[in-house]
Structure 1
Amino acid sequence: MRSLLLFAAAALLIGAAPKKLPTPNDIVAASPASAWKLIPPDDLLVMDLANGGRVVIQLAPAFAPIHVANIKALARGGYWDGATIYRVQDNYVVQWGLNESKKPWPKGVTPKPPAEYTRRLKGLTIKPLGSPDPYAPGAGFADGWPVAYNAKGGWANLVHCYGTVGVGRDLSPDTGTGGELYAAIAPLRHLDRNIAIVGRVIDGIDKLSTLPRGTEALGFYKDKGQYVAIASIQLASDMPASKRPSYEVMDTMSAAFAHYLKLRANRHDDFYIRPAGGVDLCNVQVPVRKKA
């Protein structure tokens, strides 16, 4: 009788479906509404390409306030009318603007902003990454952004992950005004604290990363016939409400993000069999979703 009971128990164990281990995407999908924050429409820069593609950029005024103010003034002043994408360097950047134009700056633009490459750590609430960072003493997330920081030095900075948007500039001490922008199409952490980071692409990065590569030095297109025309660059807050895109970013201090971060560092699901036990800062993409 005892052997029959053991056999029955074993059969039940064999027949039971294995528990599905959650993935980071599962955590995002199951997260409550309280784990998300609305991105203000005044911090969304919408770039529509002449080929029908759309690129949406979240601006970061808390990290580069003067450069971001310039970008908003440039958009509202119509500075980018006639702008193009003229540089696509493989595994590096996609760059756009008027390409060395002498066009006057619109009202409200600061022609020579300060070097907004770092900011004071004070005032930021950081969720630590929990893994070492090769470019700074500390790394983590502040208000939805990946950051590097130095607690002893009292500074923090945004980092060059895939999709990061920065300001093109000349050699130092030039800091760039904001008329020429680029999006990183690879992690470029060696540029951290050397260029003003003003935001990140949250939608449509594929419209940039899949463009033909430039064949001239540094990925510039050889002739103007290769340039990709930009139909418009505008702030979402200046668009009609019915046509205005809306996005939410996960609160990086929420329990949902903590779980998401833990799984990014310790993948163990139907595909991963050996958790890494750590994660690179740029490999933890803070979830962003389009609001219906």
Structure 2
Amino acid sequence: MSISLLAFAAALAQDAPPPRTPNDPIDEAPESAWTEIAADDLMVMDVGGKRVVIQLNEAFAPTHVANVKNFARNGYWDGGSVYRVVDNWVTQWGNGGNPLYADENKPLPEGAVENPPADYARPAGSVNVTPLGSSDSFSSMAGFDNGWPVAVHDDGTVSPTYCYGYVGVARSADPDTGTGSELFAIIGTPARRLDRNYAVIGRVVDGMENLSAIPRGTDTMGVYAEGQAQIPIEVTMMDALPEDEQMRFKMMKEGSASFAEYVYLTSHNLHYGRGTSGSDICSVRVPVRKIEEEG
């Protein structure tokens, strides 16, 4: 008895393995596909007693990041707080909510640079961009540089991108660049309009929920109103913690075969059933894993 083409195709589909998901290359990636993030590039912030870990990116904002490390190591944010939270926008913290500094900024610690350069982008020739493979609405090409999402622009520069969980430097009106004393994290829709306008100093790699799932400010521009309890912060660097309290993280190498497959699968989502033609850069989050202690 002959079998119809339709039935034959159905039989083949039934026997075919399920499409691979973006989690598959992450779970299967060999150790050679990962690189450990240095402890002195990890800033630890307790937000109301809950931990947030931020990976710093010195390559694109060296002076701002140097300032931030200085502040974290020297207790500059003692008495600081989360004082502004805007739904689908930002959580902001620093000393700006401390009434002791309502009329003047807190003096910077020794060695901090008061007016950092506008390190919002780098010359394209100074980076080696791995293309995303999809178009980008905000630049001529999006891709990755040393594990960070970036945008390549027609003027010959490359900038980091303001995606969910990325941390930037608050500042006054241009040409002020901010010192890094007041920081914010994107807690909603990617804020790509900030690209090349505000310094990106890093991204949250652990504890993002402790910045995104907190009360929104009810005063102007999301500042906590009188009577709203500001959330205290304590900030240090990972390598300044006792060894038994330190956390370790590894990041997937963008030059690995595992990363290439992860980007492809995340961009096309074949496991959904109806695949997509591509993806924006902020939807392809570079895999970062906590290293669990053995034994």
Do they fold alike, i.e. is TM over 0.5? yes
2:141 to 124, 138, 141: 138
Q: Does 1:61 align with 2:58?
A: yes
**Contact map agreement 2:270 2:276 (CA 8 A) in 1:** no
Residue 36 of structure 1 corresponds to which residue in structure 2?
34
Give 2:108's aligned amino acid. W
Residue 99 of structure 1 corresponds to which residue in structure 2?
96
RMSD between superposed Cα atoms in Å: 2.1
Give the distance between the partners of 1:188 and 1:219, measured in 2 at CA. 16
**Contact map agreement 2:254 2:260 (CA 8 A) in 1:** yes
Give the distance between the partners of 1:216 and 1:17, measured in 2 at CA. 59
Distance of aligned partners of 1:158 and 1:224 in 2 relative to their CA distance in 1, 3 Å threshold: farther
Residue 249 of structure 1 corresponds to which residue in structure 2?
251
**Contact map agreement 2:25 2:262 (CA 8 A) in 1:** yes
Distance of aligned partners of 1:20 and 1:5 in 2 relative to their CA distance in 1, 3 Å threshold: closer
1:265 to 252, 255, 267: 267
Give the distance between the partners of 2:2 and 2:253, measured in 1 at CA. 54
Matches within 5 A, 1:129-208: 129-150=132-153, 153-186=155-188, 187-208=190-211
By how many angstroms is 1:5 displaced? 11
Matches within 5 A, 1:61-140: 61-99=58-96, 101=101, 102-140=105-143
**Contact map agreement 1:77 1:107 (CA 8 A) in 2:** no
Give 2:128's aligned amino acid. T
Local SS of the residue matching 2:135: coil
TM-score (norm: length of structure 2): 0.90
Give the distance between the partners of 1:58 and 1:224, measured in 2 at CA. 33
By how many angstroms is 1:79 displaced? 0.4
Q: Deviations over 1:158-197 (max 9, x none)?
A: 0100001000100111100011000001200011100011
Which moved further from structure 2: 57-66 or 17-26? 17-26
By how many angstroms is 1:4 displaced? 9.8
Structure 2 gap ranges (5+): none
By how many angstroms is 1:122 displaced? 2.2
Local SS of the residue matching 2:77: coil
Give 2:120's aligned amino acid. Y
By how many angstroms is 1:253 displaced? 1.5
Local SS of the residue matching 1:66: helix
Local SS of the residue matching 1:122: helix
Local SS of the residue matching 2:125: coil
Q: Deviations over 1:14-61 (max 9, x none)?
A: 8965412210011111111111111111110000123x3110000000
Structure 1 gap ranges (5+): none
Give the distance between the partners of 2:12 and 2:121, measured in 1 at CA. 57
Give the distance between the partners of 2:192 and 2:13, measured in 1 at CA. 49
Give the distance between the partners of 1:15 and 1:99, measured in 2 at CA. 60
Give 1:214's aligned amino acid. G
Give the distance between the partners of 2:221 and 2:26, measured in 1 at CA. 38
Distance of aligned partners of 1:267 and 1:105 in 2 relative to their CA distance in 1, 3 Å threshold: same
Residue 47 of structure 2 corresponds to which residue in structure 1?
49
